[in-house]
């Protein structure tokens, strides 16, 4: 189907061009003559294409020169112009007969389409990058490309587009500020719902309603991760969702959620206490809060990531605690199953340096034996410190039941 409709553009032409130019600089540095992008967040970042179609194979072909091409399932390609700024001739659909067939793969057809467009020979002059750790790039997809394009040298691009995404433009920062309003509202909805005897699924429902409803001025997106609600003894495990079980007195309720706006995410983690905390939990909350404040005090443009981790470790060690897991990660555009960018992690082994307009979810979750405490902030790195996107109160939040 041919259509000359131009989708409303979330960002300026100049910003999209700058993104592609930055990707191509990294491609040249890595010796890549072409790049195959399969991560839906990266596809969105480069083309604006946004749909729940990533459960079937799709990709953007990015040559060193020339136009990008979006390949997706035919029923999705037919309407992809409604969100993507790509011209319709650069949106190509593979036939329905290739979907969920044991002996065929859509990338078999895509490889033939690339040959028809005479894109094979130029790419053969160098390596072609693949997102080898993308959630939606399967071993079967890889095998199809290897078999169909034997003249290509297929290599891992090592999250190339993700690294370009790590520094946000002013327009992206503004979208995250909008998402943060939804985040605050969703956490408030959780707090209002948490009472002894309330079903956990009802807390999740209140959160989800607030996430999607947004405000009178703007609506919210679905988030890359569902609300996480570990409680009581199970709060020693961070990624539990919900059940129909009812909240019990004197058991902590740890909530991790995000607000999302135009796919940009701002996560937040807080811990609520319907009743009285144990001395053990109260002490853990104090240590975690002090550690968070220490990190926020040291973060600014030019600071090595390992220094942020070091100040946290020194702070909680005074209380006798240690934390093996990372303390945060880069955020921005997100699609299920993750809102992280898969690049910088706040930990002692990371050699990255913080730069202005990088954005992170600082997650100070402490998962002990049979209890736990969660606290986080989503932040922007500034020349002199941090901007915290949300304004939600910290500490062990008391619920009067």
Domain final residue, candidates 165, 190, 208: 165
Domain final residue, candidates 150, 165, 180: 165
207 and 132 belong to one structural domain: no
Residue 93 lies in a domain: yes
207 and 344 belong to one structural domain: yes
Residue 6 lies in a domain: no
- For residue 247, the domain's CATH number is 3.90.230.10
Q: In whole angstroms, give the CA distance from residue 355 to residue 302.
A: 6
Q: Is the dihedral of CA 186, 191, 192, 197 positive or negative?
A: positive
pLDDT band at 2 (very low <50, low <70, confident <90, very high): very low
For residue 260, pLDDT over 60 is answered with yes
% the chain with pLDDT above 90: 94
What value does the mean pLDDT take over residues 353-364? 98
Residue 157 parent element (H or E)? none
pLDDT in tens, 93-104: 999 999 999 999
The predicted pLDDT at position 17 comes to 97
Before 117, cis peptide (omega within 30)?
no
pLDDT band at 122 (very low <50, low <70, confident <90, very high): low
Q: Mean pLDDT of all residues in the chain? A: 95
Residue 7 lies in a domain: no
| Domain housing 67 | 13-165
For residue 105, pLDDT over 90 is answered with yes
Determine which of 41-45, 81-85, 333-337, 353-357 has the lowest per-residue pLDDT on average: 81-85
Domain final residue, candidates 138, 165, 192: 165
126 and 159 belong to one structural domain: yes
Among candidates 374, 340, 336, 375, which has minimal Cα distance to 360? Answer: 340
Residue 149 lies in a domain: yes
Report how many domains make up the chain: 2
What predicted TM-score, i.e. pTM, was given to this entire model?
A: 0.96
290 and 202 belong to one structural domain: yes
What value does the mean pLDDT take over residues 336-356? 98
Please classify residue 173 by burial: count the beta carbons closer than 10 Å to its beta carbon, then call 0-12 exposed, 13-18 middle and 19+ buried: middle
The predicted pLDDT at position 3 comes to 47
For residue 5, pLDDT over 70 is answered with no
3-state secondary structure string, 21-54? HHHHHHHHHCCEEEEEECCHHHHHHHHCCCCCCC
């Amino acid at each position: 189907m041919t259509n000359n409709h131009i989708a409303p553009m979330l960002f300026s032409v100049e910003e999209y061009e700058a993104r592609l130019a930055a990707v191509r600089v990294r491609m040249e540095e890595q010796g890549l003559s072409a790049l195959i992008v399969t991560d839906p967040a990266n596809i969105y970042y480069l083309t604006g294409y946004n749909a729940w179609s990533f459960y079937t194979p799709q990709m953007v072909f990015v040559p060193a020169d020339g136009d990008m091409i979006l390949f997706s399932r035919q029923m999705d390609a037919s309407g992809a112009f409604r969100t993507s700024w790509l011209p319709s001739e650069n949106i190509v659909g593979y036939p329905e007969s290739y979907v969920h067939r044991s002996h065929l793969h859509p990338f078999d057809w895509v490889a033939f389409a690339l040959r028809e467009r005479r894109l094979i020979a130029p790419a053969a002059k160098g390596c072609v990058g693949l997102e080898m750790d993308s959630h939606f790039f399967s071993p079967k997809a890889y095998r199809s490309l290897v078999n169909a394009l034997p003249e290509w040298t297929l290599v891992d691009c090592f999250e190339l587009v993700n690294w370009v995404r790590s520094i946000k433009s002013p327009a992206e920062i503004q979208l995250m500020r909008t998402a943060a309003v939804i985040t605050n509202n969703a956490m408030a909805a959780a707090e209002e719902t948490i009472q002894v005897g309330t079903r956990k699924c009802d807390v999740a429902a209140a959160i989800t309603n607030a996430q999607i409803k947004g405000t009178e001025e703007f609506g919210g997106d679905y988030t890359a991760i569902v609300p996480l609600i570990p409680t009581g003894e199970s709060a020693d495990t961070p990624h539990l969702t919900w059940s129909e079980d009812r909240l019990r007195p004197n058991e902590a309720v740890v909530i991790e959620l995000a607000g999302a706006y135009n796919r940009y995410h701002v996560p937040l983690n807080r811990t609520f206490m319907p009743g009285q905390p144990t001395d053990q939990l109260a002490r853990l909350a104090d240590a975690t809060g002090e550690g968070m404040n220490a990190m926020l005090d040291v973060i600014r443009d030019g600071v090595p990531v390992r220094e942020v981790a070091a100040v946290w470790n020194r702070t909680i060690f005074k209380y006798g605690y240690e934390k093996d897991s990372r303390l945060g990660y880069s955020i921005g555009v997100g699609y299920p199953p993750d809102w992280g960018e898969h690049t910088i992690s706040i930990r002692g082994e990371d050699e990255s340096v913080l730069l202005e307009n990088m954005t992170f979810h600082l997650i100070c979750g402490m998962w002990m034996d049979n209890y736990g405490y969660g606290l986080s902030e989503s932040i922007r790195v500034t020349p002199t410190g941090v901007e915290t996107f949300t304004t939600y109160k910290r500490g062990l939040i008391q619920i009067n039941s």
